[in-house]
Structure 1
């Protein structure tokens, strides 16, 4: 393993490792114990235009898996998922492109996550446990063999389509604060609620956009970091 704060340090450390030289930032040894390998699949919000492009070009295992999953999803979508992931036709689209629309974001993440899983397993890296959040749960269920790719694609596409049909004007904000603190601020604000509690100091609030942003601003003024979810 090599450690470094930038490309130059990492390249230097890799050179030392390849030559068998000792250098700060170079660590070698053999893992021991009975540890297990786990894969965790992310939920919506991690999507971006062009994700997986370099992997697709470099590794046939990734490309084949991505194409297979996209073909399964396209049967339930109005358009080409691969084209959306590549950002084709997004020149006049606001923000990051169509991939930020829930109906596309969820299938796109599912396709990339399954392709990443198959790439890693083609290298002999196999997990003993898998887990996921939101759309990542569906990817984890598929790679664990809970359901076939055909069934998974049908559910993933339907889930994204149903969530896309929610009325416009809502928003979600991730907050670095304890649940109790957030609930105090939400008191008397019927347009905002807690959507998720992801940790002792990791909460997501959702609701009417203006109300959600007002809550986020108040929390920020009290020292909490906040982030609007795409």
Structure 2
């Protein structure tokens, strides 16, 4: 291909990646006889005058490529074959835990216009029909990671080839279907970004993550890594607390804040790792309450050890406070609630602003109920939350000194 100038060596990289992929060493081109300037009898280097099989073995295959740049720069790259059992392969081979049959597979299709989207679906159906050996999961992976994601999009979901092809046909025909989702998203140049929000207490439920743990190795691995740290800090299996039904002793612990916070951290981090492994990339990470710790960890701000230490201490110290207090969600904006707190800052606080018209009061039960009653008379809906303590309120202050010492010890 001639000298590639600044990209010198790229041809060799492509050549050796393909050699690794196809398990064949191609012959050296344009060589009739070895150079007389090289002593070929010393060492174990030789030219390949014919192609040679290069199968996988017990040791990983490696190849070296030298790049002599046009400016004289000499760079040397060593390529090594990828592990045979990739994350995606693990998930594909894991059986469906519900026993309902084959795994569900999403086929993602997109186009610049609605007509282009339908044409793309038609071409995909023709390809699949012409290649009966194509694995639906492999097709899904290629569509999700190897194709451009244009404005007009559709996802066809099915558990086998016929159902997926049926969904493509319905997409082409413009027919609504249960396993078909369509939509239009702004173009890639709009400056829009994606975000992930990690929730706080109240989002837990008995058995959360159990099916995902059994189904996806990447999710299970993350749960195990977090629990390996937290179990030692809390003296109990967090995974057991998460996965057990509520009518058992372990299951009933999930609503105790010391275990609630640990379980939510474990679940949220594992769920993010699963989504991340599927190829989803987010631009912004946001956390609410204990969800902030999970967000900070997956963002790389906190190591797993530090995040677990923080979560365990936070839950344990809050659990040790006297029970009582109240939290009430109100359908009112911050500007409507804050004036009612004047003079009562030592009893009640604005614990959360969840939306422009959705806030949460927290503090001494009597004071919280009085303010909630005022808002109810003004036409605002109120709902008392089922919590053991008045979180994010002045009633948390007795734990702050001990909590500060824990934070100071983080790396």
Q: TM-score range by the shorter chain?
A: 0.7 to 0.9
Q: 1:37 to 1:179 in 2, by over 3 A?
A: closer
- Report whether the alignment pairs 1:107 with 2:107: no
Greater relative contact order (Cα 8 A, min sep 6): structure 1 or 2? 1
Find the counterpart in structure 2 of residue 225 from structure 1. 381
Q: Please, which of 279, 283, 286 is the counterpart of residue 131 of structure 1? A: 286
Inter-partner Cα distance in structure 2 for 1:91 and 1:17: 43
5 Å matches for 1:62-211? 62-87=219-244, 90-91=247-248, 97-186=252-341, 191-211=347-367
Q: Please, which of 208, 224, 237 is the counterpart of residue 51 of structure 1? A: 208
Judge which range, 27-36 or 135-144, deviates more.
27-36
SS of corresponding position for 2:204: coil
Find the counterpart in structure 2 of residue 18 from structure 1. 168
Q: Quick check: 2:209–2:243 contact (8 Å CA) kept in 1? A: no
Cα deviation digits, residues 48-97 of structure 1 (max 9, x gap): 1111122122212111111211111112103111111123685469xx83
Inter-partner Cα distance in structure 1 for 2:340 and 2:194: 40
Inter-partner Cα distance in structure 1 for 2:154 and 2:256: 38
Find the counterpart in structure 1 of residue 198 from structure 2. 41
RMSD, aligned CA: 2.9
TM-score, normalised with respect to structure 1: 0.81
Cα deviation digits, residues 162-205 of structure 1 (max 9, x gap): 12222211111111102333245445766433223333322211
Q: 1:154 to 1:221 in 2, by over 3 A?
A: same
Q: 1:155 to 1:223 in 2, by over 3 A?
A: same
SS of corresponding position for 1:111: helix
Q: Quick check: 1:216–1:226 contact (8 Å CA) kept in 2? A: yes
SS of corresponding position for 2:262: helix
Cα deviation digits, residues 8-45 of structure 1 (max 9, x gap): xxxxxx98743232035852567622433321111122
Inter-partner Cα distance in structure 1 for 2:283 and 2:351: 30
Inter-partner Cα distance in structure 2 for 1:193 and 1:31: 40
Find the structure with the greater CA-based Rg. Answer: 2
Inter-partner Cα distance in structure 1 for 2:317 and 2:333: 31
SS of corresponding position for 1:223: coil
In structure 2, stretches of 5+ residues that fail to align are 1-152, 156-163, 388-411
In structure 1, stretches of 5+ residues that fail to align are 4-13
Cα deviation digits, residues 121-176 of structure 1 (max 9, x gap): 11111222212111111111111111211111111111111122222111111111
How many pairs does the alignment contain? 218
TM-score, normalised with respect to structure 2: 0.48
Judge which range, 34-43 or 145-154, deviates more.
34-43
